[in-house]
Amino acid sequence: MKNFGGMSRERLGGILSDIKNTRAAVVGDIALDAYWTADMRLSELSRETPHHPLPIIEERYSPGAGGNVCANLAALMPKKVSLISVIGDDWRGRELLGLFYKLNVETAGVVCDNNFITGAYIKPMRRGISGVVYEDPRLDFNSREPLSIEAEDELIRVINSRASGLDVICVCDQLPAGVITKNVRDCLIRLARQGMKIVADSRDRINFFTDMIIKPNETEAAAAVNLSGVLKNDFISIDDFEKIAKSLREKNNAGVFMTLGGRGSIYVSDENSHYIPAREINGPIDICGAGDSSISGFALALSAGASCAEAAYVAGLCGEITVQKIGVTGTASAEEILKRHSDFENV
């Protein structure tokens, strides 16, 4: 396996510049991330129940799941970012559409299904006299029933009608009863076999995405090829990770971009393997959304003409930037990427 030696600032700058001419779409599950802050100093015992209510003084919303991939794509300023997904006729869906409008994400490909429940992850946060912040159990909205046949058919129609106008598609398969059904997945596989650039990320079903580049983390990849036991070793070498990635590539007939957290990433194709080491991060980190920033940087760099190893390097820079943004699902801009690269270019 080859160690990726990095690239010059000029080459990186050229890739980031060429991203501005690309057109990307996200196909998959979206959700609303919500933070509700309660000031318990304002709470009074209810007259009707023996409880102190949570007086909400602040609410903050951002797009989550595939919606956060949209935000990360938009931060790199491609020519166009489109979303192809399903929402319900509910307040969460309407809130998401407003957020995408502010991000300049095109949503004409979003299907509205009255029987669908728009996903949301709501975190109630309590504040009091001291500086301590207490997080209550999260409130989750998710569909529990399979996607309706009508919504599925419309989603597939939208994907097929819009594919020719795209340079790359990011697939986000996160929910057990989400929008990436077997038929939707088969549609994407057909497009990949026809030459469409597609990068897929799936929490539980990565082994079902064939003929397109897949982006699992090490845990997801190991589970997909029944090699989870390798991760229980006291010391896991990069060669061990390569074994997992190669097994998944052989099973899926596709390139594998496998992220390794603080150890970097591996890209495995049918020709060779590259290890892309991570750079040191000082201070606290928040890994929420790191995978979203990685797939976004990888897909856009690839669509801008980068090799798969170069695209993995760009993805690594994006992840290293966003994990340092505490308490938010952050994004990485071209300027931040160039600075992060320059900080280590001559080290």
* % of the chain beyond a pLDDT of 70: 99
Beta bridge partners of 123: 35
In the predicted model, what is the mean pLDDT of residues 259-275?
92
Average pLDDT over all residues of the chain: 93
Q: How confident is the model over 17-21, as a mean pLDDT?
A: 98
pLDDT of residue 40: 95
Average pLDDT, integer, range 275-279: 91
Give pLDDT tens digits for 238-258.
999 999 999 999 999 989 999
For the entire predicted model, the pTM comes to 0.93
Task: Compute the distance between CA of residue 97 and CA of residue 95 in angstroms, rounded to an integer.
Answer: 6
Average pLDDT over residues 156-178: 96
What would the CATH number be for the domain defined by 2-31+65-122+144-345? 3.40.1190.20
What tens digit of pLDDT does each residue of 76-128 get?
A: 999 999 999 999 999 999 999 999 999 999 999 999 999 999 999 999 999 99
Reported residue count of the chain is 347
Say which residues have a Cβ less than 8 Å from residue 166's Cβ, sequence separation at least 6. 23, 24, 25, 82, 196
151-154-157 Cα angle (round to 5): 150
In one-letter notation, the amino acid at residue 329 is T
pLDDT at 167: 98
* Per-residue pLDDT reduced to its tens digit, 290-339: 889 999 999 999 999 999 999 999 999 999 998 888 777 789 999 999 99
Q: Dump the DSSP string for 104-145.
A: T-EEEEEEE-TTPPPEEEEEEEEE-SSS-EEEPPPEEE---S
pLDDT score at 290: 83
